[in-house]
């Protein structure tokens, strides 16, 4: 079953912050985050493993709450280059290393 992402879309001004959420109805082994720019392939940002860890990548960080089966992606002091569609991909405990992707969150950063 596909994880649910929210919001579906968000518009920011440069320098503003945003949070994108990803929720699953199944127990998770890990959560991946990807960014896709228009007309391009998804690009891997980070992976979070069960254990509730939080990771950072420049000014983009994420958390994973295994009990709630949720992950959140935090974008701080957004830059124009952050624009794109963000996807979470979830990996279940017993599903090999296949990812099921959420529907995506379209982020637009304006000057």
List of residues contacting other proteins (CB under 8 A): 2, 29-30, 32, 34, 40-47, 49, 87, 89, 91-93, 95-104
10 Å CB burial of residue 58 (0-12, 13-18, 19+) is: exposed
Beta bridge partners of 54: 63
Nearer to other proteins, 42 or 84 (CB): 42
Nearer to other proteins, 27 or 77 (CB): 27
Least distance (Å) between residue 42 CB and other proteins: 5
The whole-angstrom separation of Cα 49 and Cα 63 is 10
Least distance (Å) between residue 3 CB and other proteins: 11
For the chain, how are helix, strand and coil distributed in percent, rounded to 5? 5, 55, 40
**DSSP SS3 for 34:** strand
Nearer to other proteins, 15 or 52 (CB): 52
Least distance (Å) between residue 84 CB and other proteins: 13
Least distance (Å) between residue 54 CB and other proteins: 16
Nearer to other proteins, 14 or 25 (CB): 25
Residue 22's φ and ψ, nearest 5 degrees, are -140, 125
């Amino acid at each position: 079953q596909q994880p649910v992402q929210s919001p579906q879309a968000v518009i920011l001004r440069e320098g503003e912050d945003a949070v994108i959420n990803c929720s699953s109805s199944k127990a998770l082994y890990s959560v991946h985050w990807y960014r896709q720019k228009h007309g391009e392939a998804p690009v891997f940002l980070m992976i979070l493993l069960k254990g509730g860890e939080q990771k950072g990548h420049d000014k983009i960080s994420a958390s994973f709450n295994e009990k709630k089966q949720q992950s959140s992606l935090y974008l701080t002091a957004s830059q124009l280059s952050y624009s794109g569609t963000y996807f979470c991909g979830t990996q279940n405990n017993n599903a090999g290393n296949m990812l099921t992707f959420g529907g995506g969150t379209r982020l637009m950063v304006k000057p």
